[in-house]
Amino acid sequence: MIRLLRSLRARLAAEDANATIEFVFLFPLFIGIFSSSFEAAMLTSRQVLLERATDMVVRELRLGIGETPTHDELKTRICEYAGVIPDCDQSLNIELEIVSTETFAIRTGAVQCVDREQDITPALSFTPGLKNELMLVTVCAVFQTMNPVSGLGLRLPKLGGNGYYGIVATSAFVNEPS
């Protein structure tokens, strides 16, 4: 009996597994921080490139380069300039609306992003406008979070609760008389 107690005491006093216990507690924390920082870097890169692509396309509209584009042509141009939007044709939505120059009132509702659960995503409102009208371009792109169960991926506001989040870019221009 004394031998059993000495053996048990020796096992309880041993410090052989201390490094393993520290690793088990700290490794998930470091992986969570790493994945959140990577997600933040991707989100920031996508936001900046979507803003740049929208500004480049609106600059072309301001300068009057080429014919008046259709909704699909604008989407194609933004996708070409952005470059890092996966499945760009399906994940991008463009709204073009006229802003009154008397009240400067714009819509107050939420920006419409692509609903990935439906097969058809029509342009909700796309009117090219007339001469000397102030036009507001709103572009929304939808992405899936890389790690939706922890870190930044858990905190991002989701669209429809399906693990996708949206980023929005806006720009404005005036239709010039020709």
User: 159-175: per-residue pLDDT in tens?
Assistant: 776 778 888 898 888 87
Pairing verdict, β 164-174 and 92-99: unpaired
Q: What is the pLDDT of residue 123?
A: 42
Buried b (16+ CB within 10 A) or exposed e, 64-87: eeeeebeeeebbbbbbebbeebee
What confidence tens digit (pLDDT) does each residue in 122-149 have?
A: 344 555 555 677 888 888 888 888 877 7
Q: What is the pLDDT of residue 128?
A: 59
Which of the residues in the chain have pLDDT under 70?
12, 14-18, 108-109, 114-131, 161, 176-178
Q: What is the pLDDT of residue 36?
A: 86
Q: What is the pLDDT of residue 129?
A: 57
- Alpha carbons within 13 angstroms on the beta-carbon side of residue 123 total 18
Closest CA to 100 of 140, 61, 129: 129
Q: What is the pLDDT of residue 173?
A: 82
